């Protein structure tokens, strides 16, 4: 199977979605002529023309609002927010408009729009270009939130997001953009709300998503040297999330670690831990341990950022705590 | 507050000041892409002119020649504060800065508003471009039901009746020879409609508890 970079898989998904449905269009800052800050939209202007891909002014609220308005007028916009940090400027349009329109107007309409938002650190980009803010959106009824870890899932979930009738926040980890993975010639869509078992194991479950899946895999390698067999559940979809898959794995391993790059406090992991402590309490042989970033802005200094971001060593330590 | 009827292209009243403007701008983009000569219209108050997203959308609509008519009902009040304490410029100057067509009109004169809107809409259908219609009006009632409006000058409020657009329209029709009993018939018919709607609403059952989650997401087709 051919190997493809993560960013190419995003690009191909956009290309294929625009080919499949002429109502799909792209809007964002520098997405057309420049092909996007991370080149996710490269080549789309040449292929589809300026009626299908729009270089917007630096106006995140307008970009998101225009997407809402176009979506409820029959289009399927895919908006790019250049860095997820800038999504703060679009919050009213996402939270009060896109997420609420269907419910507020008695089910008269759907809002089929996607907002692509690159998150994550490791690029020495500082506190306003590195944040992982996905938990905010998972907390808002009406939104769906996805975060793939492989090129195949990036392709398949983005196609599913664009096909979906409801607003989707599609979170891409910048550190994964150059990563390679298998992508078949005619890649399938990936259903929203379904986790994947990224590594089967029997001793401990590591629930994670996005770039932290790679950290979990490295941690599992280290642990296997000590005879500890970790199972990795890649959530892929954060809202809705696959509670049944996590419970299934926990029922097998009886130990649980939840790991993400985002700030640990009040994060995605907190919800998973709370649910498992409720519905999975009888399965637990040890306290659940979380891995996440400290409660501080992402630092700029390379040394500090390296110390700040969760690593595979942190996951190894967390797993060992569940086995004490 | 959240009245909407998508079957006639009415995209909904918004609880966030100014938020209808980006949504309508996006609708205008979709309509322009569809290329069937349709236009989008958005109504807002002068209070919305202090919201940043409104300026983003004026810029974008003008830049992309979107067929959207921005209708500002300027009643001089931003909730409980006079607009002169809220806005350092005017809609006319803002419109000029963003290179859009601008018309201002006595917003309490239904015929003048109709004519001004007709001119702008006709031009817009011929060539997609945004335009601004500023309707100068008054606010008779408070910002919310029960607002005592004790922050306003009592004489100003009592003088508003003379500017009531319905009264002005009636005076105009009377001078054009419309008979008094025609007005009485209209008033009775409208009052009957309102009474019937009120009775129907009061007689309707409370929504089922399942309605809380029914429309959060679109039901899957399967």
Facing A65 at nearest CB: one of B4, B57, B59: B57
DSSP-derived 3-state class of residue B149: coil
Q: Do B28 and A69 touch (CB under 8 A)?
A: yes
* Burial category of B190 from C-beta neighbours within 10 Å (exposed 0-12, middle 13-18, buried 19 and up): exposed
CA distances from A135 to A130, A147, A269, A270, A274 (A): 15, 11, 9, 10, 14
d(CA B20, CA B17): 8
Tell me which residue has tokens 């009824």.
A141
DSSP state of A196: E
Which pLDDT belongs to residue B79?
83
Q: Do A105 and B6 touch (CB under 8 A)?
A: yes
The angle, 0 to 180 degrees and rounded to 10, between the axes of the packed helices A6-20 and A151-163 is: 30
Residues of chain B with pLDDT under 70: 222
d(CA A89, CA A59): 8
Chain B contacts of A141, Cβ < 8 Å?
216
Nearest Cα residue to B41 out of B124, B104, B100: B124
- Distance from the Cα of B216 to chain A's closest Cα (Å) equals 5
d(CA A134, CA A147): 9
Which pLDDT belongs to residue B78?
84
Q: Tell me how many residue pairs between chain A and chain B have CB atoms under 8 A apart.
A: 121
Q: Which ranges of chain A would DSSP assign to H, the alpha helix?
A: 6-20, 44-48, 60-71, 91, 101-104, 134-138, 151-163, 212-224, 243-253, 268-279, 302-308, 312-322
- Distance from the Cα of A111 to chain B's closest Cα (Å) equals 9
Q: Do A62 and B2 touch (CB under 8 A)?
A: no
Select from B26, B36, B130 the residue whose CB has the most chain A CBs within 10 Å, as the one to mutate to test that interface: B26
CA A165 and chain centroid, separation: 18
Looking at this predicted complex, what is its ipTM? 0.94
Q: What residues of A are annotated to the active site?
A: 60, 129
Which pLDDT belongs to residue B142?
82
Q: Do B56 and A61 touch (CB under 8 A)?
A: yes
Q: Do B11 and A71 touch (CB under 8 A)?
A: no
Tell me which residue has tokens 């067999």.
A229
Q: CA of A51: which chain B residue's CA is closest?
A: B33
Which pLDDT belongs to residue B51?
96
Chain B contacts of A113, Cβ < 8 Å?
none
- Distance from the Cα of B59 to chain A's closest Cα (Å) equals 8
Which pLDDT belongs to residue A300?
96
d(CA B10, CA B30): 15
Per-residue pLDDT of chain A (324 residues; tens, 9 = 90+): 789 999 999 999 999 999 999 999 999 999 999 999 999 999 999 999 999 999 999 999 999 999 999 999 999 999 999 999 999 999 999 999 999 999 999 999 999 999 999 999 999 999 999 999 999 999 999 999 999 999 999 999 999 999 999 999 999 999 999 999 999 999 999 999 999 999 999 999 999 999 999 999 999 999 999 999 999 999 999 999 999 999 999 999 999 999 999 999 999 999 999 999 999 999 999 999 999 999 999 999 999 999 999 999 999 999 999 999
Facing A62 at nearest CB: one of B5, B60, B214: B60
Q: Do A166 and B63 touch (CB under 8 A)?
A: no
Q: In what order do the strands lie in the sheet with A168-173?
A: A53-55, A24-28, A76-80, A114-119, A168-173, A144-146, A237-239
pLDDT tens across A111-129, in order? Answer: 999 999 999 999 999 999 9
Q: Do B216 and A103 touch (CB under 8 A)?
A: yes
Q: Do A75 and B53 touch (CB under 8 A)?
A: no
- Distance from the Cα of A90 to chain B's closest Cα (Å) equals 9
Q: What is the dihedral of CA B72, B74, B75, B80, to 10 degrees?
A: 90
Select from A48, A65, A75, A163 the residue whose CB has the most chain B CBs within 10 Å, as the one to mutate to test that interface: A65
Which pLDDT belongs to residue B222?
54
- Distance from the Cα of A33 to chain B's closest Cα (Å) equals 16
Which pLDDT belongs to residue A259?
98
Task: Give this prediction's pTM.
Answer: 0.96
Q: CA of A96: which chain B residue's CA is closest?
A: B16
Strands (E) located in A64-157: 76-80, 114-119, 144-146
Instruction: Say how many C-beta atoms besides its own lie within 10 A of residue A304's C-beta.
Output: 12
Nearest Cα residue to A273 out of A250, A294, A295, A296: A250
Tell me which residue has tokens 């309102």.
B194
């Amino acid at each position: 199977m051919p190997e493809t970079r993560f960013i190419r898989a995003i690009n191909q998904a956009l290309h294929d979605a625009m080919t499949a449905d002429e109502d799909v269009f792209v809007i964002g800052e520098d997405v057309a002529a420049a092909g996007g800050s991370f080149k996710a939209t490269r080549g789309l202007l040449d292929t589809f023309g300026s009626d299908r891909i729009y270089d917007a002014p630096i106006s995140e609220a307008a970009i998101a609002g225009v997407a809402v308005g176009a979506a409820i007028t029959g289009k399927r916009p895919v908006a790019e927010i250049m860095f997820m940090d800038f999504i703060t400027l679009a919050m009213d349009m996402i939270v009060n408009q896109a997420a609420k329109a269907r419910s507020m107007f008695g089910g008269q309409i759907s809002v089929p729009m996607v907002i692509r938002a690159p998150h994550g650190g490791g690029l020495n980009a500082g506190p306003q270009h590195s944040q992982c803010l996905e938990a905010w959106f998972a907390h808002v009824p009406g939104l769906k939130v996805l975060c793939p870890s492989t090129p195949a899932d990036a392709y398949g979930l983005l196609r599913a997001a664009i096909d979906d009738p409801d607003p989707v926040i599609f979170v891409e980890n910048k550190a994964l953009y150059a990563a390679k993975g298998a992508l078949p010639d005619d890649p399938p869509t990936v259903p929203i709300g379904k986790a994947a078992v990224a590594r089967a194991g029997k001793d401990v479950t590591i629930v994670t998503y996005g770039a932290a899946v790679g950290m979990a895999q490295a941690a599992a390698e280290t642990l296997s040297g000590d005879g500890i067999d970790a199972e990795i559940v890649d959530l892929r979809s954060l809202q809705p999330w696959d509670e049944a898959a996590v419970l299934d794995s926990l029922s097998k391993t009886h130990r649980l670690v939840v790991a993400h790059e985002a700030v640990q406090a009040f994060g995605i992991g907190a919800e998973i831990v709370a649910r498992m402590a409720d519905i999975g309490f009888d399965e637990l042989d040890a306290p659940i341990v979380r891995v996440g970033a400290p409660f501080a802005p992402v630092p700029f200094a390379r040394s500090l950022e390296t110390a700040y971001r969760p690593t595979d060593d942190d996951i190894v330590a967390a797993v060992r705590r569940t086995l004490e | 507050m959240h009245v909407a009827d998508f079957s006639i292209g009415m995209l909904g009243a918004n609880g966030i000041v100014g938020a209808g403007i980006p949504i309508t701008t996006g609708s205008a983009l979709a309509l322009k892409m569809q290329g069937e000569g349709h236009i989008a219209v958005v109504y807002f108050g002068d209070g919305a002119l202090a919201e940043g997203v409104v300026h983003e959308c004026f810029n974008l609509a003008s830049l992309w020649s979107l067929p959207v008519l921005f209708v500002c009902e300027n009643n001089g009040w931003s909730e409980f504060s006079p607009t002169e304490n809220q806005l350092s410029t005017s809609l006319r100057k803002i419109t000029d800065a963003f290179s859009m067509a601008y018309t201002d009109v006595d917003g309490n004169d239904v015929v003048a508003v109709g004519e001004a809107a007709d001119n702008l809409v006709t031009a817009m259908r011929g060539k997609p471009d945004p335009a601004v219609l500023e309707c100068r009006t008054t606010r008779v009632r408070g910002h919310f039901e029960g607002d005592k409006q004790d922050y306003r000058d009592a004489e100003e409020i009592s003088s508003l009746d003379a500017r009531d657009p319905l009264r002005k329209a009636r005076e105009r029709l009377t001078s054009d020879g419309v008979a008094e009993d025609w007005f009485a018939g209209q008033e009775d018919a409208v009052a009957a409609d309102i009474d019937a709607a009120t009775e129907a609403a009061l007689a309707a059952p409370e929504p089922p508890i399942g309605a809380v989650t029914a429309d959060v997401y679109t039901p899957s087709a399967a």
